[in-house]
Amino acid sequence: MPDHHPDQHRRDRHPLTKAKGGAAMRIYTGRSHLLAPAMTETLRRAMNDDVDAHIVVVPKQLTLQTERSLLKALGLQGSFKLQIYSPERLCGRIFEAAGQPEGTRIDERGRVMLVRQAVDACADRLTLYRTANSRRGFADKCARQMELLRQGGLTPEALMACSDENTGMLSMKLSDLAVILREYEALIEGRFQDGESEFNHAVARAKDADFLRNADVRFFGFDLTPPTLHSLICAVGAVCPRTSVFLPLENDENARDHDAFLPLKYSFERLWRSAKLAGVIPERIRILPGSSYEEAPGFLHLPEPAKRPELARLEKELFAFPAEPDPSEKPPRSVQLAHLRDPMEECRFAAALCRRMAMQRSMRWNEMLILCPDIEAYHQPLKEAFRAYGVPIFLSSCRAASRHALAECVLSALRMADASPRMEDALSLMRTGYMPISPDEADRLANYSVKYGLRPRNFLNPLKRGSEAELAELEPVRERFAKPLTDLKNRMKRAGTLVAQLSAVFEFMTDIDAAGKLRAHMDSLIEAGLREQAGEESQVWNRIIGALDQMAALMGEDRLPMKELIQTLTESLEAAIIKPLPQSDDAVYAQTTERIVAQPAKAMLILGVTDRSGADEDGLLSSAQRKVLSGFTHAYVGPDDAELSRMRRFYLKSAMGMVSDYLCITTPMSGMDNSAQHPGALIGLVKDIFPNLTARGGISEDENVQWMLRGAPEAARAYAARALSEISDDTTPLKPYDSAALAGLAKISETDDDTRHSLESMSRALDHGESADRLDPATARKLYGTIQRQSITRLERFAQCPFAYFTQYGLRPERIEPFGLTARDEGTFFHDAVHEFMLSSMEDLNSIDIPAAEKRMDAIADRLLDAMASGPLGNSAVEMAERRRLKATARTCAGVLAEHMRESRFTTESLESDFGTEDGAARLTVNAVTGECTLEGRIDRIDSWAEGGYLRVIDYKRGGKAPELDGVYHGLSLQLPVYLAAAMKKKQQASAGVYYFNLDEGIIALQSTDKYEVEKKRRSQFRLSGIAPDDPELLKALSPNFPEVLNVRTTKDGGLMKGTLATDANGFKALTDRTLEMAGKHLDGIRTGEAAVAPASFRQRTPCAWCDWHSICLFDSRMDAKCVRRFKTMRGDQVIEELKKAQGPNEKKE
């Protein structure tokens, strides 16, 4: 709300001297599209007046843009009399003419530092914000709040008075802010000048600035101006008799869309009152459309800029109440809507559209404007898209210096020099590109740290873990990486003052040659034609050095704790802004919709119009709290929610007034994070005004849009790759525009390195299917050898996917696993624990009771876990919990093993029994087409019944699934049958089955509190799963209580139920024969060089889900569906029946 009556709570911070007789100041008001012509035309007519200078004051971000547009409009190559200033530069000129104020000038970085210092100094007097200073970002928000409070002229006393009148959160906030404001002002008093102090001193000295007395001063491009700027404008007006202000404000308060201009009306009223307080007589000049330039008392008539009727209607009706729809039955030609796939396609569409308008409508690039609500998020997509289409673009967006690699390097190095560095700091530091190690060395050192579980401090000491070759290779790299860090840490320890600490930071930057590397990077960017990025790089060094200088000047001499030093420097660099520098006068201009559009455009594109609202919070007070404070003090302390909403509407409204020929509004169907997006309110409003307007694109792609997107040869490569990827088989035709995209590739310049690399990648991708299908047999021999011996694990890997086998055993990439307790470590522990338990229980396993077995296992587990404590299993609370879990699981397994063997006629004969070439004549061989091969492996356990002449094979599995006979039949699961065949041939005994023993925790889901029922269910989880004999007597020999030991189901009379995995001797032989046959086929495939990306699909599973090499093959289930090998599902009894049928009659008699 406007502050109609200043009261006792506002401080008179702006001492003004009233001009004798009262100086006049003209305030021009009118719609945005009339302001720029009015300012330009009045300036043109005043250029020959007898004044010393024509000064145009505009917001800082518009200085260069305004200078270029004015020189062009006035037909000037240059002028000493025409001077474009920002408000800050105007203050500087006043100080040059009237004397510099005391104190060092500080920017946003310095303000953040001083606010942090103020909060620290008064922390014991704070309530809500007592510990807030330790939170990242608080100092920045608090600094912004101090700025708003000081701009509104509020005193600590005013804040405290408002606090006393309120309760709850607002009262505590205002009380703390009053304390902080008092401390902050005490810090800067007479020593420093922040933005508000600078404006206040400029206001006081303006009367002595002689250059203003015979100058023509215009303030242009401002909308919601703070009270401090009002005071500066009025101080200039009190001295300069030719002061003009141009405000974008609708003159007719009865206009249907006047509500969107209310914030500007309130700003105008505040300026009007400030002028009267300064002794300046304000005069309002209403800018109205007319047939020609005509001045009259209180009015200025200007010809309306030429504009398409549809755009004029849109400007008139947008946000008007009630809105009047377009009566025409035809859709508008100058206004378009488009629904695009995502922000990247939006940006490509914008670039392609700009390119088309330049080619077909002869528009210059600088006559096109792009608006975007979230210009930061669209920054990179816009740069990439416009570069691909060969369209120059200038993005009016800024980024914090803290996001630059050099700033990250300095901050990460300081964290590494602190007492408790984090691993991410070390990894981030080595990959910034500024440390004295190459990118490849950084990757290898990072991989080593992951593999061996290094802590950040380990980088500062010699490496100890790993092989001698690894240490010899990486220790020199570590030394080069650690030396500047060690020197920084030592200097920080010796530093007794803040200046010494900051000098240590500068010396670190010198040690790593940061300036030289930054300069080299800039040169490489310039050489690559990326001058805009090079211009941003050139600002980084100054921002970092400036932050160090301001810390030295502002923070006193006392040494800071490291954490406070790091946090202060971080917040300072976050407040330091890196701005883009335009490299050409003729470029498409892109800016946010949250700012007024200052120059006209022939074509305008508004991107990213969704229903997501922007952030409204500015400072520490919410919108509602700001409104209460403003109402109590009658001071302007920032817009509330209603004003913010109106300002967004005003910015869009004023933008519509600046476009003359064409407007396109786009919305993405999905966001940057692939989340679904909905069109924003602007889309609906435009449709209400033009009922016959339909959006282009959407789910059903607009063919004209697709043709346009593929129009530029450089952009065609992206769409060509996508088109090729969507062809799932040879019969799928290309769409016409995709064919054109492929044809367009031939037009790309061969000198474009990026495009050439992209085409080469596409070419390799096209050859991917053929090149990966098969190796030359000679190449396969070089990779794998002659394969005279082969493990079952390798054969199963080939069966699952030939390419996975080729990658793992041919290319042999090294997989870096994080150091810690992995599933592999757990499996090794359980195997070792069960093996030692069985080894120590060979004599009494059939008679030992469960408590004794569990006690024996506890001793074994403790010994193994103690050994792991120096490795992946440490001594933290989490790791101790893991130790208890592993020990409890091993104890459970021991009890189950003892229970399984109780009263069994079988005894354990061998543990970890190896089979292979060492078995001589008893070795298990495969007679493949390509030659014989010995199968090798290790069987966890073989139990035998000597009297009966039977054996059974048991393999330990950690979380393993039950055997699937159809998987055996298809050659996908070979392990158990091969183990059985090897044991039978080696021991010359018949089969009593082959089984998995599941090493599990025994956790079950059961809705029962009966402990006996729970235990029974839990024990059933440990039953041996596999292929059992179908002989009842043999089953009883395995265990008198075999249904509770084996995973078999029995009928009431004790027989086996149908579907149970059980067979006779012929079935076991048929199964092993089939397995050896499939192993031979796999062996032939390996030897002949099969290496296709052809995963097996079985029981709705593919190995891709757990494959380590998916990032290498890049298999796509949609694009590569024809490569999948699909196997049918069969029941176990069907498999046995099929295998027996395949046996000859002589084999059955055996």
Per-residue exposure over 820-831, b if at least 16 CB sit within 10 Å of its own CB, e if not:
ebeeebbbebbb
Using a CB cutoff of 8 Å and minimum separation of 24, what contacts does 63-67 make?
Answer: 63/89, 64/582, 65/589, 65/598, 65/599, 66/220, 66/221, 66/598
Q: Is 773 inside any structural domain?
A: no
Per the CB < 8 A criterion, the answer to whether 1066 and 1148 are in contact is: yes
- Same domain, yes or no: 866 and 933: yes
What is the reported pLDDT for 6? 37
Say how far apart CA 660 and CA 600 lie, in whole Å: 8
* Residue 843 sits in the same domain as residue 795: yes
* 1081: three-class secondary structure by DSSP: helix
Q: Among 522, 557, 578, which residue terminates a domain?
A: 578
In a domain, 774, yes or no: no
Residue 10 domain-assigned (yes or no): no
Of 578, 612, 629, the position where a domain reaches its end is 578
Strand, coil or helix: 372: strand
Is residue 698 domain-shared with residue 722, that is, in the same domain? Answer: no
Residue 49, CB-side half-sphere exposure with 13 Å CA sphere: 16
Angle (deg, nearest 10), helices 562-575 and 108-121: 140
Distance CA 660, CA 702 (A): 26
Q: Are residues 172 and 276 in the same domain?
A: no
H-type alpha helices, 254-342? 262-277, 309-317
Q: How far apart are CA 928 and CA 931, in angstroms?
A: 5
Contact 437, 481 (CB under 8 A): yes
Same domain? For 170 and 69 the reply is no
- Buried b or exposed e, range 132-151, using 16+ CB within 10 angstroms: bbeeeebbbbbbbbbbbbbb
CA gap 125, 505 in Å, rounded: 33
Of all residues in the chain, what percent are helix, strand and coil, respectively (each to 5)? 55, 15, 35
Contacts of 280 (CB under 8 A, 6+ apart): 19, 22, 23, 24, 25, 234, 237, 238, 243
Residue 9 lies in a domain: no
**Pair (531, 546) in one structural domain:** yes
Q: Give the Cα separation of 141 and 744 in Å (integer).
A: 51
Phi, psi (5° rounding) for residue 49? -70, 155
- Of 189, 213, 230, the residue at which a domain comes to its end is 189
CA distances from 873 to 84, 876, 1022 (A): 68, 9, 26
- 1015 and 900 within one domain: yes
Which amino acid, residue 1062? A
Q: Is residue 320 in some structural domain?
A: no
Identify each DSSP E strand in 792-930 by its residue range.
907-915, 925-928
- Residues 46 and 69: their CA atoms lie apart, in Å, by 17
Q: What is the pLDDT of residue 312?
A: 93
Place of tokens 């043999």: 1034
Residue 539 CA to residue 532 CA, distance in Å, equals: 11
Q: Looking at the structure, tell me whether residues 1046 and 1086 fall in a common domain.
A: yes
What is the number of domains present in the chain? 6
Residue 1096: which H helix or E strand, with range? strand 1096-1098
pLDDT value of residue 736: 75
What does the block give as tokens for 244? 């003009």
pLDDT at position 1053 is 78
**598: domain CATH number?**
3.40.50.300
Helices 877-901 and 823-840 cross at an angle (nearest 10°) of 40
Q: Are residues 43 and 121 in the same domain?
A: no
Same domain, 624 and 545: no
Given this model, what pLDDT does residue 931 score?
Answer: 92
Decide if 210 is inside a domain: yes
Look-up of token digits 């673009």: 393
* Strand ranges inside 262-414, DSSP E: 280-290, 294-296, 299-303, 335-340, 368-372, 393-395, 399-400
| Interacting residues of 1038 by C-beta distance below 8 A, sequence separation 6+ | 904, 905, 906, 952, 992, 993, 1028, 1045, 1046
Blockwise average pLDDT, block size 10, the chain, 1150 residues: 40 39 84 92 90 93 86 85 94 93 84 89 91 83 90 91 92 94 90 88 94 95 90 95 94 93 94 93 94 90 92 94 91 93 92 92 93 90 89 84 91 92 91 93 91 87 89 94 95 94 96 94 85 82 91 87 90 84 80 88 94 67 89 87 89 93 94 86 94 81 76 69 60 70 66 66 58 80 92 94 93 79 82 92 87 92 84 70 87 89 91 90 91 94 92 85 84 93 93 89 63 68 88 91 87 80 90 93 94 89 85 77 87 83 57
Looking at the fold, whether 1028 and 967 belong to one and the same domain comes out as yes
Q: Residue 12: inside a domain, yes or no?
A: no
One domain for residues 548 and 643: no
SS (H, E, C) 511-575: HCCHHHHHHHHHHHHHHCCCHHHHHHHHHHHHHHHHHHHHHHHHCCCECCCHHHHHHHHHHHHHH
Per-residue tokens: 131: 């510990």
Domain assignment present for 311: no
Q: DSSP character for 1119?
A: T
Using CA atoms, how far apart are residues 450 and 442, in angstroms rounded to an integer?
12
To the question of pTM greater than 0.95 for the whole model, the response is no
The amino acid that residue 632 corresponds to is F
Range of the domain at 730: 714-766
Amino acid in the structure at residue 889: T
